[in-house]
Amino acid sequence: MAKKTWKKPTVIVIDIGPCKYCKKNMVNTESFVAFADKTKAHYECMKKDDELREKTQAIIEDKIDKLLAEDKTYE
């Protein structure tokens, strides 16, 4: 058997495309998530977006509750 003249790399780094949120290119060694629509994002970017959505939703729900409390036409 012939001797190998090259050593196979132990870690293969692959470019997986741009982040859905920050648009920076990602590689497979970074922490990332893949979505059902086949887009990918950094885990931290997704986490920040989820927190922002939760805060925004809570603010909107509070405003709706205040408006419904003021409006007595539904009672």
Tens place of pLDDT for every residue, the chain, 75 residues?
Answer: 677 777 776 888 899 999 999 999 999 999 999 999 999 999 999 999 999 999 999 999 999 988 888 766 655
Question: Is pTM, for the whole model, over 0.75?
Answer: no
Q: Give me the residue label for tokens 């994002």.
A: 41
- Residue 48: other Cβ atoms inside 10 A: 13
- What is the model's pLDDT at position 7? 79
pLDDT at position 70 is 78
- pLDDT value for 20: 95
Q: What is the pLDDT of residue 1?
A: 66
Q: Which amino acid does the sequence have at 5?
A: T
Q: Where are the domains of the chain?
A: 15-70
